Structure 1
Amino acid sequence: MGAKLLYICVAFILVAYYIYSPIPENVGQPWKLMLTSAVLRTLGHMGKAAEMLGLANYMDVMKLFSSSQYVPPTSDENVAVTDTEFSGVAVRLFLPKKPTEGLRRAMLFFHGGGFCLGDAGMKSYDFLARRTSNQLNAVVVSVNYRLAPKYRFPVQFEDVFSASKFFLQSRVLSQYGVDPTRVCVAGDSAGGNLAAAVTQKLLEDSEVTNKPKAQALIYPVLQTLDMNLPSYEQNANMPILSKSLMIRFWSEYFTSDPSLREAMTSNRHVPAQWGHLFQFVNWSTLLPDRLKKDHVYTGPVFGSPALAEKYPGFLDPRAAPLLAAEAQLRGLPSTYILTCQHDVLRDDGFMYATRLRAVGVPVTHEHAEDGFHGALTFVTSPSDMAVGHRLMSSYLRWLEEHL
């Protein structure tokens, strides 16, 4: 009996040690974040092992998390939900059942997942779209773009742009009873990247007569140039999205060639002839002083031009919207940006907010001091957290007021 108890105690200690992750003190209900992180970390270990053994790609193993969270399209008393296609691109469509006297608002939403993971049918994204549709009495189009590593850049951008352009046609908006002057483009993480890039492109496309009224970018990833931003350094090992995982996502977006990932890890992937782009990600001028702390900005260390010649996508504003010139930013619609303190992508959002304001774009920038990457989707059991409900409510309130 004593030996069994000892084994149980040792096993418990080992499990607790594995689950434990250092969490900032101001994050409430940290054990929920730890549990989710432990699941993702386990999949990551399995993915690395499978890749080393030649059994599967790392990202294919990580997709097991998305698969485990999938829910079928299910209508309820408030919203009709169906899976369909717009211009050959899979979408999950949410149509409110509430009667309305006039035309409805609409949302184009792009899920996150580092361009490699995620699905509009994941429980958290289904819940977010369903609640948005119900609360705003809005049509929501949640786009299921194709994923890396099977499909590389610019496929993901082309998918969401094609679906958006299709939906914004007057005849399609009329079919769904949507007011063409009240459409928002939104997304979180990699989806925030796609939302920002699509909104920029829609603005300059002369074939698109119905332009978005607003864009909502939820802890977006927006730049590929500097992997040593203060937020990357401060949050390098935070749960959910570490620095190394974000670099892995970026590299898989463009190529399976590990040399790009290695160069990005050492921050030596941008050639000198593209050095002028660093003005758009110069955190010494674009971040508030409180975020710089003890970090000292140093100029870029340039890499070989070979990588940029082979994989030019990482220098393309369609992949990195923060690299767009001022002329491409002027005229963008009212913008909501959510950033979280404990997130490697924090500074991307701050810099974009600074640049948009500088060219006269109306920006509402909400920063969650107790937030972490993915926080807004922590709203369904068993991983629901107070910070997730607070951020979702604030996001929906902004949409109510600006859409």
Structure 2
Amino acid sequence: MGRTIFLLISVVLVAYYVYIPLPDAIEEPWKLVWQNTLPKIATDLASFVELLGINHLMDTIQLLITFQEVPPTSDENVTVMETTFDSVPVRIYIPKRKSTTLRRGLFFIHGGGWCLGSAASYIYDTLSRWTAHKLDAVVVSTDYGLAPKYHFPRQFEDVYRSLRWFLQEDILEKYGVDPRRVGVSGDSAGGNLAAAVTQQLLQDPDIKIKLKVQVLIYPALQALDMNVPSLQEGAHFPLLTRSLMVRFWSEYFTTDKDLEKAMLLNQHVPMEFSHLLQLVNWSSLLPERYKKGHFYKNPSPGSSELAQKYPGFIDVKACPLLANDNILHHLPLTYIITCQYDVLRDDGLMYVKRLQNAGVHVTHHHIEDGFHGAFTLFGLKIANRMQNQYLNWLIKNL
């Protein structure tokens, strides 16, 4: 009897963690299932630990992620070193082959919902050394303070300080970087920060060196409407669900669960800030194919008290889609990747439209069989394709 119960429980657990309903378009589904299983187990474990009152969910997940960190080890192609830029930790990747000219410079910002990850994480270390070697570029991969220990604007400020430091003429000269060929790149929350600091640089009179390009890989760009079509469709998308994305956004601003609850209900924007909703109105910004089956409804007015306590979700530094057209018009050459099966799909699509309307030259790659996190899932065919598209665009434009 005991063995039967144990076997039954085991089967249920395996089915729960292994089975996820995947669209038919997904390539190599069993590889994705495996890639999704470990994060799912880690999140459930962290949720249980939080429920017991032992530790915050994000702190537990980050602790588990630290086991995937790697030291700054140089290899036959790239020299890797760690230092600080204005007290912000960074990793620098410099190609070993000799160059007769100054190199491109790429400033990279990792994702992780403003709560997780680091430049030392295996996936980001691998991506940075691959980029440095293939692009023959100096890659600076920056860290920043993470929630829940730090909240907005700390993450933005850390990245901005680090980037400003990198853009000094003597620093670029020290690392052999051509000041006319510097770009910024980031994925997910890193794409959010990349978009935000690129906007901020335009308004900084002390920065003389301009970015040549910005690259945003499935970026998170707005926290006003939590019911855009991709968030409605993505309750069970692999690797990033709607509930987890809302948790990331709320943690960016506060550990107060009232904000998370209001965001889940899409009732967090107070009436006095409702005019901002036109900047993220998906009914006018999304291509027709993404609006099918959905009807636009203005989010219900939220509490003014929440917005006063945690004004980040109405701040352009946290939500780059809130920038006015005068700012957007001056942004550099832009490359945006969006994925069909991603809760953040519509953020990227809306930004593409707004940038195009403002006269910015945008290259947009939409990955029809793509999902959130695919870009850094090394070993999957989709990751190879996305990375090669990214590399080819940078070779031509940076």
Query: Which residue is equivalent to 1:183?
Result: 182
The question of whether the paired residues in 1 share the 8 Å contact of 2:17 and 2:40 is answered with: no
1:201 matched to which residue of 2? 200
Q: In the alignment, what sits opposite 2:329?
A: 330
- Render the CA deviation track for 1:260-289: whole Å, top value 9, x for unaligned: 000000000000110111111000110000
Q: C-alpha displacement at 1:7, in angstroms?
A: 6.3
Moved more, 220-229 or 234-243: 234-243
Give, in whole Å, the separation in 1 of the partners of 2:391 and 2:49: 41
For residue 165 of structure 1, report the CA deviation from its aligned partner.
0.2
Tell me which residue corresponds to 1:167.
166
Find the aligned partners of 1:20 and 1:243 in 2 and give their Cα distance. 18
2:103 aligns with: 104
Matched with 2:351 is 352
Corresponding position of 2:259: 260
Give the C-alpha shift of residue 368 in structure 1.
0.3
- 1:395 counterpart residue number: 390
What pairs with 1:34-73 in structure 2 (closer than 5 Å)? Answer: 34-73=33-72
Q: TM-score, with normalisation over the residues of structure 2?
A: 0.97
- The one-letter code of the counterpart of 2:283 is S
Residue aligning to 2:247: 248
**Gaps (5+ residues) in structure 1?**
none
Task: Tell me the number of residue pairs that the alignment of Structure 1 and Structure 2 aligns.
Answer: 398
| Structure 2, gaps ≥5 residues long | none
| Contact kept in structure 1, 2:109 and 2:186, CA below 8 Å | yes
Cα deviation 1:47-66 (Å, max 9, x = unaligned) = 22211211100101111342
Kindly indicate whether the alpha-carbon contact (under 8 Å) linking 1:241 and 1:343 is maintained by their aligned counterparts in 2: yes
Q: How much has 1:4 moved relative to structure 2? A: 6.9
1:277 and 2:276 are equivalent in the alignment: yes
Query: How far did 1:13 drift?
Result: 6.0
Measure, in 1, the Cα distance between the counterparts of 2:228 and 2:373.
19
> 1:178 offset after TM fit, Å?
0.7
1:356 positional shift: 0.4
- When residues 320 and 95 of structure 1 are mapped into structure 2, their CA distance, relative to the original with a 3 A threshold, is same
In 2, distance between residues paired with 1:45 and 1:117?
Answer: 16
Which secondary structure state, in structure 1, belongs to the residue aligned with residue 84 of structure 2? strand
Q: Which amino acid aligns with 2:393?
A: W
1:66–1:119 Cα contact (<8 Å) kept: no
Structure 2 CA distance for aligned equivalents of residues 149 and 323 of structure 1:
24
Give the TM-score normalised by the residue count of structure 1: 0.96
Q: Please tell me the residue identity of whatever aligns with 1:395.
A: Y
**Structure 1: which 4+ aligned runs deviate by more than 4 Å?**
2-10
In 2, distance between residues paired with 1:91 and 1:79?
Answer: 16
CA contact (8 A) 2:79 2:93 kept: yes
AA aligned opposite 1:155? R
Distance 1:6 1:118 in 2: 38
> What amino acid maps onto 1:180 in structure 2?
P
Cα separation, partners in 2 of 1:52 and 1:13, compared to 1, 3 Å? closer
Contact 1:81-1:95 at 8 Å conserved across structures: yes
Pairs within 5 Å for 1:370-385: 370-379=369-378, 384-385=379-380
Amino acid at match of 1:18: Y
RMSD across aligned C-alpha pairs, in angstroms?
1.6
Worse overlay, 220-229 or 233-242: 233-242
Question: 3-state SS of the aligned residue for 1:106?
Answer: strand
Letter in 1 for 2:384: H
8 Å CA contact retained: 1:116, 1:147: yes
Other-structure match for 1:340: 339
Q: How far apart, CA to CA, are the structure 1 residues paired with 2:72 and 2:161? A: 22
Contact kept, 8 Å, 2:17 with 2:41, in 1: the verdict is: no
How far off its partner does 1:29 sit? 1.3
Contact 1:47 1:61 in 2 (8 A): yes
- Native 8 Å contact 1:219 1:349 kept in 2: yes
1:231-242, aligned counterparts within 5 Å? 231-242=230-241
* Map of 1:84 onto structure 2: 83
What secondary structure does 1:145 align onto?
coil
Structure 1 residue aligned with 2:125: 126
CA drift of 1:315 comes to 0.6
Structure 1 CA distance for aligned equivalents of residues 102 and 388 of structure 2:
24
Task: Encode CA deviations 1:186-211: one digit per residue, 9 max, x unaligned.
Answer: 10000000000000011111100001
For residues 276 and 182 of structure 1, what CA distance do their matches in structure 2 show? 38
Of the structure 1 ranges 245-254 and 18-27, higher mean CA displacement relative to structure 2 is found in: 18-27
CA-to-partner distance for each residue in 1:340-395, whole Å, 9 max, x for gaps?
0000000000000000011111100000010000101011xxxx210011000000
Aligned to 1:288: 287
Distance 1:5 1:237 in 2: 31
Paired residue secondary structure (1:262): helix
Encode CA deviations 1:20-51: one digit per residue, 9 max, x unaligned.
Answer: 11111111111222222221122222222211
In structure 2, the CA distance between the partners of 1:17 and 1:260, relative to structure 1 (3 Å rule), is: closer
What SS is found at the alignment partner of 1:74?
coil
| CA–CA distance in structure 2, aligned partners of residues 159 and 29 of structure 1 | 38
Q: 1:156 to 1:355 in 2, by over 3 A?
A: same
Separation in 1 of the partners of 2:9 and 2:311?
51
Q: Distance in 2 between matches of 1:21 and 1:86?
A: 42
Structure-2 separation of matches of 1:279 and 1:8: 54
